[in-house]
Amino acid sequence: MVGEPGGKMEVWWRVSGFRPPVDLLAVGAHPDDVEMAVGGILALEVRRGRRVAILDLTAGERGTRGSAEQRREEAIGSARVLGVVLRVNLGLPDGFLATVHSEWAFRAIVGVIRWLRPRVMLLPPVEERHPDHGACARLVRTAIFLSGLKNIRVGDGDEEFPPHKPRAFFHYIQFYPATPTVLVDVSEVWDVKMSALRCYRSQFDPSFPGAPTILSASDFLTEKFPARFRQWGSLIGVSYAEGLIAPQPVGMVSVMDCFFQT
């Protein structure tokens, strides 16, 4: 059952004929986390022909508004809008990720990484307002390291997945303000990102039944939420940008591929 301490991995969305590997794997503690922070990056890479997947660690079943079943349907709708090839939910307990430092949890995340073999991964920030976000980052960073160790074996039935490490991972930015080390122009797919977020009626629609939250305020999606992305965009001379934080220096093949406002 989703949300139980042991967890149960479920494939929530898969395009017909999907087979690994993927180019990009974005991980969030709850459905809608990756859309809010890096939905534009996901849509942009899909538009460029890359295979993008999402891993949610919980179903968001303890959120103020909506149920696990509603969040699942909303997440599936968002996955369709973004064009991702796969969305997986690990079924860990919402609100208590900081307590889930079990061998099962690490092996489950390692199994997803080895199954999908992503080139790049996107993770939450290590320090965040919601304790699940930072716990998610710490769980996944450990799993990335463990995934590269040949003496840790995980698999599905008789199939054993070989070791795999992504070429790079980045932390995205959520509630707490932070200075990004990488800014990605998402202006051309901003409408896709917002369409994906509007799939989450339980979280963002003021008319949805439930107690009001920061996210359900009538001006959140129209004014408050876009402001950060417009400000980041202004730093590189575009309409909207999403920010990432690299845990170590980023190598470049050529300085000619970089741009910023001069």
Count other Cβ atoms within 10 Å, centred on residue 69: 11
Residue 223 lies in a domain: yes
Residue 211's CATH number: 3.40.50.10320
Residue 2 lies in a domain: no
Average pLDDT over residues 228-252: 96
Q: Please, which pLDDT band fits residue 66 given cuts at 50, 70 and 90?
A: confident
Separation between Cα atoms, residue 234 and residue 240, nearest integer Å: 7
Residue 5 lies in a domain: no
Average pLDDT over residues 12-38: 97
Residue 194's closest CA among 172, 220, 165, 214? 220
Separation between Cα atoms, residue 85 and residue 116, nearest integer Å: 11
pLDDT at site 158: 59
Residue 4 lies in a domain: no
Residue 3 lies in a domain: no
Upstream peptide bond of 162 is cis (omega within 30 degrees of 0): no
Q: What does the block give as tokens for 185?
A: 């122009």
Separation between Cα atoms, residue 72 and residue 159, nearest integer Å: 28
Residue 252 lies in a domain: yes
Separation between Cα atoms, residue 206 and residue 219, nearest integer Å: 9
**CA quadruple 194, 118, 105, 135: dihedral sign:** negative
Domain around 178: 10-257
Q: Please, which pLDDT band fits residue 7 given cuts at 50, 70 and 90?
A: low
What average pLDDT does the structure give for the chain? 93
Higher per-residue pLDDT: 206 or 156: 206
Residue 1 lies in a domain: no
Average pLDDT over residues 22-45: 98
Taking only the tens place, the pLDDT of each residue in 79-136 is 999 999 999 999 999 889 888 877 888 999 999 999 999 999 999 999 999 999 999 9
Rounded to the nearest 5°, which phi and psi values hold at 180? -70, 150
Separation between Cα atoms, residue 143 and residue 112, nearest integer Å: 10
* Domains: count for the chain: 1
Separation between Cα atoms, residue 128 and residue 130, nearest integer Å: 6
**Residues 226, 227, 232, 236, Cα dihedral to 10°:** 90
Separation between Cα atoms, residue 245 and residue 260, nearest integer Å: 17
Residue 262 lies in a domain: no
Q: Please, which pLDDT band fits residue 4 given cuts at 50, 70 and 90?
A: very low
Q: Is 198:152 a contact under the CB 8 Å cutoff?
A: no
